[in-house]
A and B are shown apart, each in its own frame.
Chain A
């Protein structure tokens, strides 16, 4: 079945460092891909998305490019801030998605040190 695999955390970086969180997927056809973020004590919220191959999603300085050839959707940010500390979830929506279900990865916890 469809699935998402993302790098295990926690990831600890210093402020202004470059961030990459890896995500790969297994799916039939061309799913839509997402990154969600969960700040402490809150529910998940959509960070960015891409709906077709080679699309780049971006928001709040974060970017991710839909790479069909490597079935990947890695999250990047050029200069992280302490306020980026959160848990990040990679997710996909299958191509034939009658029930609107989203398949989530297990999440990667990010700690940014001042």
Chain B
């Protein structure tokens, strides 16, 4: 039982490049989330998906898009990366109000 997995673990992008962060969970959870964590800022919700086929904006959605590919997978896309998107990105899924987090993707945009 792997829980929540994320790929890649580390990524360096140049300004303007695009990339997709992948997330998958094997716990059959309906709800999935993408957060970013910046030093001293705690967690900020980017997008979430309450169920397969639905997505909604969180606190800081600008510059990101998401896809809930199926019940297991929820990807986050940066279409044109900016230095302000340098952060650690966490995916999570929820069951009975408990969130399970992936190990994170550390993204640097130069």
Within 8 A of B (CB), among A41-84: 41-46, 49
In the assembled complex, how far is the CB of residue A47 from the closest CB belonging to chain B, in whole angstroms? 11
Bound-complex Cα distance A42 to B102 (A): 8
Q: Are A44 and B101 in contact (CB-based, < 8 A)?
A: yes
Known contacts A42-B103, A99-B56, A89 near B97 by CB under 8 Å = no
Bound-complex Cα distance A89 to B31 (A): 20
- Chain A at the B interface: mostly helix, strand, loop or mixed? loop
Q: Are A43 and B98 in contact (CB-based, < 8 A)?
A: no
Q: Are B42 and A44 in contact (CB-based, < 8 A)?
A: no
Q: Are B98 and A34 in contact (CB-based, < 8 A)?
A: yes
Which A residues lie within 8 Å of B98 (CB)?
A: 34, 46, 49
Known contacts A89-B43, A99-B31, A43 near B103 by CB under 8 Å = yes
Most chain A CB atoms below 10 A, which of B30, B48, B94: B94
Which of A43, A102, A106 has a CB less than 8 Å from the CB of B104? Answer: A43
Bound-complex Cα distance A93 to B99 (A): 10
Q: Are A100 and B101 in contact (CB-based, < 8 A)?
A: no
Does B2 lie at the interface of the complex (its beta carbon under 8 Å from any beta carbon of A)? no
Does A30 lie at the interface of the complex (its beta carbon under 8 Å from any beta carbon of B)? no
Q: Are B99 and A46 in contact (CB-based, < 8 A)?
A: yes
Chain A: number of interface residues, binned into ranges: 20 to 34
Can you list, as one digit per residue, whether each of B37-59 has a CB less than 8 Å from chain A (1) or not (0)? 00011110100101000001000
Does A97 lie at the interface of the complex (its beta carbon under 8 Å from any beta carbon of B)? yes
Which of B31, B43, B102 has a CB less than 8 Å from the CB of A100? Answer: B31
Q: Which residue of the partner chain B has the closest CB to A101? A: B48
Across the A-B interface, give the 9 residue pairs with the lowest CB-CB distance, nearest first: A43-B101, A106-B42, A93-B97, A100-B31, A100-B94, A99-B50, A44-B101, A104-B43, A107-B42
Give the interface of A toward B (CB within 8 A): 32, 34, 36, 41-46, 49, 89, 93, 97-102, 104-107
Give the interface of B toward A (CB within 8 A): 4, 30-31, 33, 40-43, 45, 48, 50, 56, 90, 92, 94, 97-104
